[in-house]
Amino acid sequence: MDPKHIRNFSIIAHIDHGKSTLADRMLEITGTIDKRRMRDRLLDDMDLERERGITIKARAVTIYHVKDGEKYQLNLIDTPGHVDFNYEVEKSLQACEGALLLVDASQGVEAQTVANAYLAIEANLEIIPVLNKIDLPHARPDEIAEEIENSLGLDGTNALAVSAKTGAGVSEVLDALVEQVPAPTGDPAAPLRALIFDAVYDEFRGIIVYLRVFDGTIREKERIRMMSAGKVFEALEVGRFNPKMDRSGALGAGEVGYFISNIKTLGDVAVGDTLTLDKGPVVKPLPGYRPAVHMVYADFYPTNNGDFEELREALSTLKLSDSALDFAPVTSDALGFGFRCGFLGLLHMEIVQQRLEREHDLDLIQTAPTVTYRIVNHDGSEREIHSPGQLPDPDKFESILEPIARVSIMVPAEYIGTVMQIAIEHRGVYVRQEYVSATRVQLTYDIPMAEIIYDFYDKLKSSTRGYGTMNYELLDFQAGDLVKLRVLVNSADVDALSSICHKDQADYRGRQTIKKLRKEIPRHMFEVPLQAAVGGRIIARETIRAMRKDVTAKCYGGDITRKRKLLEKQKAGKRRMRSVGNVDIPQKAFLAVLGDKE
C-alpha cells in the first residue's frame, strides 16, 4: 500500500482508563472482527491480563478505515498503562508516528497519563487527546480538558469526547487519526530497513518476529539479515495482524506485521535490532532501544533442584517476549542453584513469577526484592551490588550509595497532609506541589527506591482510599546510612534471609523477621537460637525450645541419684547435638519471611 494511506499510532493512558475497550470498538466499527467473534478486551489474550484487568504486553493489529472515499491502513499498537511496563510503551512508540492520549472523563489526568504523554512528546509523535467514559453520570469533560492543558501543555479545547463502551465518538477518532497523524516517511524504493519491536516463541513454528518496516519491502523467500546478531534467515512467511496472523506475502514501507523463519535459537533474535536484505546494499542501522534500567532485583530458586535447567529455559523464553527482563545464575547455601533476575518494578516481578509458574509449570521460591546499590571503595572506585550477600564487611568500603527515585503522586486535595506524612516516614525529600485543577494536586518527592518497593505504594493506596496514583523514575544514587541485616539460625548465617536497610529501621525489621521464623521452624531435639544482627551486634533474638523427652519415665522409685544421672546424660547429649546438629529450615519458613513485606 502507498505509504500516504498508512497511519501508525499507539493508544497511551493511565491504567484502567479504557485503552483495550477503545481498541475493541475500533475493531468492531471498522469490521476487522465480526460480532460473532467479538469479546471484551480482545487484544488482551493472556490469562493473567484477563484476570487482573490490565494490559501486560503491547499488541499490534491492522485495521482499515474509509474516509472521503479513500481506504486507509491504520496500524494500532495497544500499550500497557502500569508504570512497571513503561518499557513496553517506549518500544511501541518508536514504531509509530502518532498517539491517542486517552483520559478518563471522570477520574482525570493521573500520574501515568503524564509519564506516557512525556514519552510520546520525547518521541516527537503527534498527540491527539481523547476523553473517554463521557457516558458516565459523574463525567467532567470540561474540567478534564482544562487538566490536560494545565498538566501537559496540550490543547484540550479540541479533545475528542468518546465512550469506548458504547462506541459513541469512535468514528470521529478514526477520522482524526487520518487527518492529524502524519503518514510514514519511508522510501518504498530504498533498501530494506525494518525494526524488530517484539517477538514471541511458538513451539511449533519457532520465533515469530514483530516488525515495523521503515524503508523498502520485505517479501517471502528473501534472505534477511539481522544486523546486530549477524544472523541470516529466509523469510518463510510474512503477514499482518488482523488481529490473528494473516499471511500477506510482503510488507511495504510504513507497514507493521510479522515474519517467520524457523528460528529456533532464542539468542538469534534481539528486540530493537534492524532487519535488512542479506545481499542488498549496506544500510545504516535504526537507533533501536536504550537498555532497560532495572529497578528491582530478586532471586528465583526451583523448589526441586533438578528443575534448574528448566528454569533457565523458561526465563530465556520469557526474555524473548519481555526484553526488560534480565537474569544471571546464582547459588545459595540454603536454597541451592537459582537465578538473580532484574525487573522494572514489583508488578513486573510478580507477573514474571506467575508466568513461570503457570506457563512453564515450575514451583519456585523467591527471595525478598532488593534494589541496586553502589559501593564506594577506599580508593574512590565504585561497583554495583544486586543482593545483600554481595555486600562486603563494613571495613572493606567507604560508603554505600542507594538509588533515589523522583516520585510524582497525583491525589485529591483533601489527602495532601496524609500523603506528605507517608512520604516523610519513607525518608522522602519534598520537591514541589502543583495544582492540576481545583480539586487535584500533584506532589513531587525524592524517595529512596528501597522504600518504594517495601510498602510505600500499599500505604499510599490505603490512605487515599484508592484515589492516589504515582509514577516514578530513577534520579540518582546518594549516600545513605545503610546497614546489612543478617539473620542467624543456630549461630549460622542464612544468606537468603539477609537484607540491606536503613540503620533506623534495622531493629524493627530484625524483630519482625525473627518472630516469623520462630513460628515456622519446627522444634528440634536441641534448643535453636534465632538472631538478627547488624555487624557484630545482635539486635533481636528468639529461641525455639528443644523437644522434651522424659528419660526418667522408666525409673519406678529408687534413689533420686539415678534420675539425676539420666537427666545429666540427656543434657550433655543435647549440648553435643546443638554443636554438630543441622537445623532443618522448611521452605514455608522462607516463604513466610520473603513473601510478606509487612
Are 36 and 176 members of one domain? Answer: yes
Q: Identity (one letter) of the amino acid at 387?
A: S
pLDDT at 590 over 70: no
Residues 64 and 152 in one domain: yes
For residue 310, give its domain range.
Answer: 296-356
Last residue of a domain, one of 180, 206, 237: 180
Q: Do 89 and 125 lie in a common domain?
A: yes
User: Per-residue pLDDT for 398 more than 60?
Assistant: yes
Shared domain for 238 and 310, answered yes or no, is no
Q: Are 498 and 385 in contact (CB under 8 A)?
A: no
Q: Is 99 or 595 the better-scoring residue by pLDDT?
A: 99
Give per-residue pLDDT as tens, 220-237.
988 888 888 788 888 899
Whether 485 is in a domain gets the answer: no
For residue 489, tell me if it sits in a domain: no
Q: Same domain, yes or no, for 261 and 320?
A: no
**Residue 119 and residue 248 in one domain:** no
Task: Count how many domains the chain has.
Answer: 5
Q: Compare 335 and 192 and report the one with higher pLDDT.
A: 192
CB 205 within 8 A of CB 262: yes
The CA distance from 10 to 60, in Å, is 9
Sign, CA dihedral 59-60-63-65, equals positive
pTM of the model: 0.71
What CATH number has the domain bearing residue 585?
Answer: 3.30.70
pLDDT digits (tens, 9 = 90+) for 343-381: 877 778 888 888 888 888 888 887 778 888 889 888 888
* Residue 172 sits in the same domain as residue 206: no
The cell numbers describing 143, all together, are 474540567
Binding site members:
16-21, 132-135
Does residue 205 belong to any structural domain of this protein? yes
We report the CATH number of the domain holding residue 421 as 3.30.70.240
Q: Which residues are annotated as a binding site for GTP?
A: 16-21, 132-135
Shared domain check, 229 and 125:
no
pLDDT tens column, 443-481: 999 999 888 877 787 788 788 877 788 888 888 898 888
Q: What is the CATH number of the domain that holds 233?
A: 2.40.30.10
Cell reading at 338 = 537459582
* Residue-level pLDDT at 598: 40
Residues 445 and 531 in one domain: no
List C-alpha distances in Å: 579 to 104, 490, 518, 540. Answer: 65, 9, 20, 21
* Element spanning 111, H or E: helix 111-122
What is the four-CA torsion angle of 377, 381, 386, 390, rounded to 10 degrees? -40
